[in-house]
Amino acid sequence: MGVFSIFPPRASTTAVQVDALYTFLLIVAGIMTALIFFCVFFFAVRYRRKNQDDPAPKAIHGSLPLEIAWSVFPFLIMLVMFAWGAKLYFQNYTPPLHDTFDIYVTGKQWMWKVQYPTGQREINEMHVPTGRPVKLILASEDVIHSFYIPAFRLKHDVVPGSYQTYWFEATEPGRYHILCAEYCGTNHSDMGGWVTVMKPNDFERWLAGDTGGSMREQGEKLFQQYGCVTCHVTDREGRCPSLLNVFGNPVVLDDGRTVVADEAYVRESILNPNAKVVKGYKHDIMPVFQGQISEEGLLQLIVYVKSLSPPAPRSGKSAAPAPKANPK
Amino acid sequence: MTHPVVPIKTYAAVFGALLALTITTVAVSKLELGEFNFVAAMTIAVIKGTLVVMFFMDVRRATSLTKLIVGAGLFWMAILFVFVLSDYASRGWLPGPRWF
Amino acid sequence: MGDSEATLAVHEPGLKHHFDDSAQQFQSSTLGMWVFLVTELMFFGGMFGGYTVYRNMYPDAFASTSHFMNVPIGAINTGVLIFSSFTMVMAVRSAQLGQKKVLIAFLIFTLLLGCLFLTLKYVEYHEKWVDHHIPGPGFQYADTRYFHQAQILFFLYFAMTGMHAIHMIVGVGMLIVLISMAARNRFTQAWYTPVEMIGLYWHFVDIVWIFLFPLLYLIGHTK
Amino acid sequence: MSTYLPFARTEARTNYLNADYGWKSWLFTTDHKRIALLYLFSITAFFFVGGAFAVGMRVNLLTPEGIFAHDTYNKLFTMHGIIMVFFFLVPSIPATLGNFLVPLMIGARDLAFPRINLLSWYLYMIGGAIALTAIVKGGVDTGWTFYAPFSSTYSNTHVILTAIGVFVSGFSSILTGLNFIVTIHTMRAPGMTWGRLPLFVWGHYATSLIQVLGTPVIAITLVLLGLERVLHAGIFDPAVGGDPVLFQHLFWFYSHPAVYIMILPGMAVISEIIPCFSRKALFGYTFVAISSIAIAVLGFLVWGHHLFVAGQSMYASMVFSLLSFLVAIPSAIKVFNWTATMYKGSISYETPMLYAFGFIGLFTIGGLTGLFLATLAIDVHVTDTYFVIAHFHYIMVGGMVMAYLGGIHFWFPKISGRMYPEGWARFAALIVFVGFNLTFFPQFILGYQGMPRRYAHYPPEFQVLNVMSTAGASILAVGYLLPIIYLGWAWRKGPKAPQNPWNAKGLEWEQSPTPPPTYNFETQPVVTEPAYNYSGESEEVGIG
Ligand code: HEA
Ligand code: HEA
Ligand code: CUA
Ligand SMILES: [Cu+2]
């Protein structure tokens, strides 16, 4: 990255798109700035007072057509900015429903802990393949952080108490900065690391390396340890919903709403089970686990719950739209 | 400043109404009405507040500037509520079909 | 509106010399008071906003806490405040009619009712203290499912009623000033603006309570 | 020069400055002009305190490894932000120039509530003293935004003390706003209709609306934050059930509108300077007036653009983004109208006009980069980077501080009764302009390249641009110190000013002596013509 390039390296599909939008904005802003600077300079020179006693010029009180023109035209241009920006924003913050490679990131003063479904764990390092959508599930153990990868033009605050996600598809192998972008205390500026983008083959090799038990296995252990298994898998009395084939599918709640069982839903159901109760089940059966399971443990449990729902048959991009969760 | 004096009767009537509404709201809260408990309680509170504003604070006869100020106050409260709540209400929404 | 008129106007009671006449001065005071009340509204509005967000997030927990609110005291206090608003409005009316004795009597009446409200509030706070319902390290809640969420509600309860109580205390202080001013014959039928302004403030504080009472004490009572 | 009043240069005339002597006559004054001066000196002092912190930050950022410990740096930017926003920029123009000029411009003898005006200065000083105490005791490190749960649970610095300082000064701000609103409504001189109000007054009216409607919300938010810090009951702490995003909503409900508190008065000043030095009525008076009010109202609908990556609902973000573009329109209207005013004018380049040129250019750049931030996908990349820092310094320093300096120069003769040295003043304006751009332009590039804000250390590839920025800041410092010196000199030794040195329009110049007497006017002013009637038209003309 040269100092004199205004763009940082582009290493994802979004980077290209964001840069295109940015270029558009630069051009508009450049033209507008040039126009105004030119007018100010030109008028200042052209109409300078040549003689102290010049009579005051004739007043010009305004012009309605002009006022309308310079309110409406800028606004039309701004609408383009808005729509283009919103489109990309929705795209970046809504991961594809299927076939993503999921990485679980936990922020903590002042480090990033990264876990892979296959069990690898890293601190301040992340490995991702090119050419495949990667979805990040972000959690925080203490304060708000922000997981920022300039080369992908993406960041999201990592808010304690909830999960945030975004996704990207890396394009250029290399090593790029991970930075913490939300002020989080003393060592905020040191809370960074590197993301290594690898060719798919290299990545597979890396992924096959040594692990200390996959996230799924660890999640399964926790599942047994906390006694979840007695209700949610083996139970036949119908006290709790079975968790087989739940993840990623719509769930009907007792208040009639439909939600999709995603990571945030599973997390909430563990920590605060009464918040969303599945239709036909009673409140207050399941214990409240708030404050009892670590953020990393939660993520492992979620991977285990996910594994109880084998991936749907590949349906590609034309997958039926997810059911609307909230009719209003 | 130069408004005619309001008869005591009017004030007494408003006072009576306020007391009656207070009793009503307590009574209604004992009934099982589901979501309507909330609606009823808030409706009664709004009526009571309006009575106080209109009669005791005399906005009824105030200048239009005063009325405008009262309106502005309520409007800005509404801005705070509507925008904050719209975030919470739409957090769970899915992006829906990819409409772009 | 020239200077000469302004000098003449100095004879009007209570007129400050940067105003043209007392009509302008009265207009300014009223406007100032109403603008001030709008700031008060936004001040409480922030808390009501927080309350609404959490009530929607944790409806069950909030309902469960309403069982620990002392509804009889709350209801009586509502009555007390309404009554005090009534006496206040009567005080303004007496000032308007120039009845000094009646004015003082109603102001004292209002003052006493304000103090009664604060005393009852104290009784309630004490109850919460005994029950360990004060948020913070000593907080306890019988229904452990709702421990944290109930704590937030009690936090809001104390913040909102506490702010309200502080406003009541300020109001009581201002009533004392009014009484002493009235006793010193400072008010005339032509000039009693302070009575009217404090009256507006007092009613505003009453209205805040009119909303606090159902929101904190009543809603969810049946659950 | 002026021919309106006979006593334009009588030596012995009593004015507000020499009407009374001794410190008591200042500390207990209720004269809005004296209070304005009290504010002027205290606010300028705070500016230099905040500036000193900025110098510390810029020095630290000379090298990637920094010079100070992390905690020191974190305190530096926090205290810089808090001092600059709450104790300098929010009161800067309204409490000084506004206080001095609003009554003069509308033809009133004082503000409606002179004692409340004095009270508001005391509250400001008490709040400032509390904040300074917090700084002396070790400072705060939360960032000026006080985000929970860091501020409520994790920081172990003087958060509560600082919050109290900001809280108290908030009331000062509310009272100033209240006073202006009432004064403008009830104390206008005969003939001073709403349609003839100088745009300076319109701008301050709009500012006051925001102060009155927004400030209470930050006050209560800080109270809740303080309580949470003591009790840890969880209202903003997710570990015990709260929601940290709620804090951000409440904070920005005030703090976004507050950025318009920090620009509308600057626009108000510019709207006076440009017609005066173009000798021409302002183009589109009605539109400029209405756009002030529009900014004040629409400004309350966009605060969510600070939460685009904070976990706010995407739909809410979308609405806030759209509304952010909408609020840019009234600003655009103003920029275009100022420019159009110069068309076919008779333009001279006195210092205030130079600052006005600077304002238009730098505000435009700052505003246009605001549009970058309002564009959702761009904001995702550049939020919390130096791009944002550059955006708001362009508006707040390049815009508002320039307007402040321009205004001080413009009304310096009125305030002090003396002229400032024009040559030095032009030179200083040039230094400020150059230093400013060198300081903050590189930060746009840094930001897009991905340098996060609030970083004590940074990756080495960003060094070159940071060194440029620090170099610029040193030039800027000189540019700010110069006016202190020559204005201080001019105050005692400068040549006596005539009543209306710029031949400007407006009651404060035309009908009030320089410097004004205690009650502003010697005879009741009467207004008979529209504002900015430089060409001396007899008929009131609407926009065609
Ligand atoms: C005085 C202060 C001030 C002002 C006036 C503004 C004005 C604007 N601001 Fe700024 N802003 C700040 C101070 C200010 N801001 C501060 C302090 C922060 C950071 C806070 C923090 O996090 O610490 C911030 C942050 C900030 C953000 C959040 C960034 C982030 O943290 O991610 C956003 C996002 O939308 C934004 C947008 C805007 C917009 C759209 C305007 C608009 O009002 C600008 C309108 C003006 C123009 C647009 C220029 C003139 C127009 C033309 C010449 C027309 C031509 C235009 C076209 C043809 C397109 N600002
Ligand atoms: C009104 C608002 C205002 C003003 C005027 C300024 C003025 C300046 N700011 Fe400010 N700044 C903010 C508001 C403002 N800032 C805010 C709100 C933040 C965000 C804080 C946060 O993140 O929480 C910020 C953050 C901020 C940062 C980012 C810090 C970070 O995120 O890590 C930087 C970095 O360069 C910076 C620099 C400067 C500089 C160089 C000036 C210069 O213009 C200053 C020029 C003035 C001087 C140079 C003073 C001259 C006087 C002397 C030299 C005498 C010295 C005296 C003694 C030593 C006794 N500011
Ligand atoms: Cu983590 Cu900043
Ligand atoms: Cu903003």
Of all ligands present, the nearest one to the C-alpha of A112 is 3
Put simply, the answer to whether A181 touches D347 (Cβ < 8 Å) is no
What pLDDT shows up at residue C29?
Answer: 92
Q: Which chains touch C (3 or more CB pairs under 8 A)?
A: A, B, D
Output phi, psi for D538, to 5 deg. -90, -30
Strand partners, A140: A107
> CA–CA separation, D530 vs D536, rounded Å?
10
Instruction: State what percent of residues in chain C have pLDDT above 90.
Output: 65
Contacts of A157 in chain B (CB under 8 A): none
The per-residue pLDDT for range C17-61, each reduced to its tens digit, is 788 888 888 889 999 999 999 999 999 999 999 999 999 888 888
What pLDDT shows up at residue C137?
Answer: 85
Residue A180 in contact with ligand 3 by CB distance below 6 A: yes
Strand partners, A146: A157
Per-residue b/e over A118-147, b at no fewer than 16 CB within 10 Å?
ebbebebebbbbbeebbbbbbbbbbbbbbb
**Confidence at C116, pLDDT banded by 50, 70, 90:** very high
CA distance C26 to chain A (A): 38
Range of the domain at D292: 34-510
Asked if A296 contacts A123 with a C-beta cutoff of 8 angstroms, the reply is no
Q: Whose CA is nearest to atom 1 of ligand 3?
A: A145
Q: What is the mean pLDDT of residues C141-146?
A: 82
What pLDDT shows up at residue A102?
Answer: 92
C33-218 belongs to which homologous superfamily? Cytochrome c oxidase, subunit III, four-helix bundle (1.20.120.80)
Name which residue leads in pLDDT, C61 or A29. Answer: A29
Ranges of chain D whose pLDDT falls below 50: 1-10, 543-544
Ligand 2 site-directed mutation target among D159, D397, D405, D476, most atoms within 8 Å of CB: D397
A1-49+93-211 belongs to which homologous superfamily? Cupredoxins -  blue copper proteins (2.60.40.420)
Ligand 2 site-directed mutation target among D393, D395, D396, most atoms within 8 Å of CB: D393
Contacts of A323 in chain B (CB under 8 A): 94
Contacts of D230 in chain C (CB under 8 A): 136
Nearest neighbour of B86 by CB, restricted to D217, D246, D316:
D316
Indicate the average pLDDT of chain C. 89
> CA–CA separation, A260 vs A246, rounded Å?
9
Kindly list the protein residues whose Cβ atom lies closer than 6 A to any atom of ligand 2. Answer: D 48, 51-52, 54-55, 57-58, 77-78, 80-81, 84-85, 88-89, 143-144, 389, 393, 396-397, 401, 439, 453-455, 469, 473, 476-477, 480-481
A215-307 belongs to which homologous superfamily? Cytochrome c-like domain (1.10.760.10)
Put simply, the answer to whether D325 touches A109 (Cβ < 8 Å) is no
Put simply, the answer to whether D349 touches A44 (Cβ < 8 Å) is yes
Put simply, the answer to whether B97 touches A321 (Cβ < 8 Å) is yes
CA–CA distances in Å: residue D395 to residues A32, A211, D402, D473? 16, 52, 10, 16
Indicate if the pLDDT at residue C9 is higher than 50: no
| Interchain CB contact of D53 with A (< 8 Å) | no
Indicate if the pLDDT at residue A224 is higher than 80: no
**Confidence at C97, pLDDT banded by 50, 70, 90:** very high
Count of domains observed in chain D: 1
Indicate if the pLDDT at residue C169 is higher than 70: yes
Q: What is the mean pLDDT of residues A187-210?
A: 89
> CA–CA separation, D350 vs D425, rounded Å?
9
Nearest neighbour of D309 by CB, restricted to A84, A155, A179:
A155
Per-residue b/e over C13-49, b at no fewer than 16 CB within 10 Å?
ebbbebbbebebbbbbbbbbbbbbbbbbbbbbbbbbb
Ligand 4 centroid to Cα of residue D252, in Å, is 7
Nearest to D165 by CA among D235, D76, D229, D79: D79
Task: Please name the residue of chain D whose CA is at the shortest distance from the CA of residue C137.
Answer: D231
Q: Whose CA is nearest to atom 13 of ligand 2?
A: D81
Q: What is the mean pLDDT of residues A262-266?
A: 82
> CA–CA separation, D365 vs D386, rounded Å?
15
Put simply, the answer to whether D245 touches B87 (Cβ < 8 Å) is yes
Nearest neighbour of D449 by CB, restricted to A48, A94, A150:
A150
Indicate if the pLDDT at residue A315 is higher than 50: no
Ligand 4 centroid to Cα of residue D242, in Å, is 24
Interface test with B, best of C21, C28, C38, C212 (most B CBs within 10 A): C38
Indicate if the pLDDT at residue C134 is higher than 60: yes
What pLDDT shows up at residue A208?
Answer: 81
Give the ligand 3 atom nearest the CA of A184.
2
Contacts of C145 in chain A (CB under 8 A): 274, 284, 288
| Interchain CB contact of D518 with A (< 8 Å) | no
Instruction: State what percent of residues in chain A have pLDDT above 70.
Output: 89
Nearest to D39 by CA among D1, D104, D109, D88: D88
Report pTM: 0.90
| Interchain CB contact of A162 with B (< 8 Å) | no
Q: What is the pLDDT along chain B (100 residues), one digit of tens a residue?
A: 457 788 999 999 999 999 999 999 999 988 887 778 888 999 999 999 999 999 999 999 889 999 999 999 999 999 999 999 999 988 866 544 433 3
Nearest neighbour of D216 by CB, restricted to C1, C42, C159:
C42
Q: Which two tokens stand for residue D189?
A: 């001189």
Q: Whose CA is nearest to atom 44 of ligand 2?
A: D51
Residue A32 in contact with ligand 1 by CB distance below 6 A: yes
Task: Please name the residue of chain C whose CA is at the shortest distance from the CA of residue D189.
Answer: C1
Report C:127-146 residues touching B (Cβ under 8 A): none
User: Tokens 């108490």 correspond to what residue?
Assistant: A161
ipTM score here? 0.92
What pLDDT shows up at residue B35?
Answer: 78
Long-range contacts of D2-8 (CB under 8 A, 24+ apart): D2/D498, D2/D499, D2/D500, D2/D503, D2/D509, D2/D510, D4/D499, D4/D500, D4/D510, D4/D511, D5/D499, D5/D511, D5/D513, D5/D522, D7/D513, D7/D522, D8/D498, D8/D499, D8/D513, D8/D514
Q: What is the mean pLDDT of residues C135-163?
A: 89
Ranges of each domain in chain B: 1-57, 62-91
What pLDDT shows up at residue C3?
Answer: 40
Contacts of D326 in chain A (CB under 8 A): 75
Ranges of each domain in chain A: 1-49+93-211, 215-307
Nearest neighbour of D328 by CB, restricted to A78, A94, A186:
A78
**Confidence at C16, pLDDT banded by 50, 70, 90:** confident
What pLDDT shows up at residue D180?
Answer: 97
Q: What CATH number has the domain bearing residue D408?
A: 1.20.210.10
Nearest neighbour of A260 by CB, restricted to B89, B94, B98:
B94
User: Tokens 């940071």 correspond to what residue?
Assistant: D466
